[in-house]
Amino acid sequence: MFRLAKERLARGEALDEEDLSSLDEELERLSRLTKRLRELSRTSLQMQTSSPGDIVEAALRAPTPPADVGCLELELEPSPGIGVFCDRSMLAQALRELIDNALEARQSRAGVRFSAADPLGFCVWDDGAGFTLDVAQAMSWGVSTRPAAAGLGLTVALRAARAHGFSLELSRKPPLTEAWLLLTPRALRAWPLAVPR
């Protein structure tokens, strides 16, 4: 948008009120993006061991829970019990962004599963049509296909993963689109299973 405005001004064209309003909206969007990225970069990791279920639960009870969260299909507790050594809040934020995307993209189903095998990590999936952008472009800062979205969800998820030494991979395996937050084996810890009373 800024490039187009610059080109128009360079040709001697004037910007009208609608153009200026659009530029103001874009500046506000960019301001929100940079604020969220600054907050993420200033966060120091508070490491603890949490179960996969606790991490996803933290993602789902964020100040503004994702819409339609009740329809998520969850497969989270491996056996024997396994915990993840991580900053639960930061990893939950990453998963929340992925869950929000999956719920928005789904046709009828979306879910989260945890795998303690290969691949090791959290998979957030949906049965939607798949990516309209290539994977590299989809994970770029400020890129979104959703109207009025900040275009930061995948960037936040990727940065949170990298802060832990983890990675983020997107793939399409028809009929599902999958976002994998891949863990390293050193992040796994034994985790006590709940004992029936």
Other residues' Cβ atoms within 10 Å of the Cβ of residue 160: 26
This model's pTM is above 0.95 = no
Q: Are 90 and 43 in contact (CB under 8 A)?
A: yes
Q: What is the pLDDT along the chain (197 residues), one digit of tens a residue?
A: 777 888 888 999 888 888 888 888 878 867 776 676 666 666 678 899 999 999 999 999 866 666 677 788 999 876 668 899 999 999 998 999 899 989 988 999 999 999 998 999 999 999 998 876 565 655 554 555 454 444 567 888 888 899 899 999 999 888 999 999 999 999 999 877 554 44
pLDDT value for 168:
95
Asked if residue 196 belongs to a domain, the reply is: no
Residue that is written with structure tokens 């100040």 in the block: 63
Same domain membership, residue 113 and residue 172: yes
Same domain membership, residue 98 and residue 29: no
Asked if residue 79 belongs to a domain, the reply is: yes
Q: How many domains does one find in the chain?
A: 2
Same domain membership, residue 162 and residue 65: yes
Same domain membership, residue 50 and residue 32: no
Q: Are 58 and 92 in contact (CB under 8 A)?
A: yes
Tokens coding 87: 């900053």
The CATH number of residue 156's host domain is 3.30.565.10
pLDDT value for 45:
81
pLDDT value for 150:
44
Same domain membership, residue 120 and residue 183: yes
Same domain membership, residue 50 and residue 35: no
Q: Where are the alpha helices (DSSP H) in the chain?
A: 2-10, 17-42, 52-60, 88-105, 135-138, 153-163
Return all residues near 62 (Cβ < 8 A) that are at least 6 apart. Answer: 92, 93, 96
Same domain membership, residue 78 and residue 13: no
Same domain membership, residue 59 and residue 29: no
Asked if residue 150 belongs to a domain, the reply is: yes
pLDDT value for 80:
65
State which residues form the domain around 33: 2-39
Distance CA 13, CA 28 (A): 24
Distance CA 154, CA 25 (A): 21
Tokens coding 119: 């691949």
Same domain membership, residue 79 and residue 18: no
pLDDT value for 197:
43
pLDDT value for 40:
61
Same domain membership, residue 58 and residue 15: no
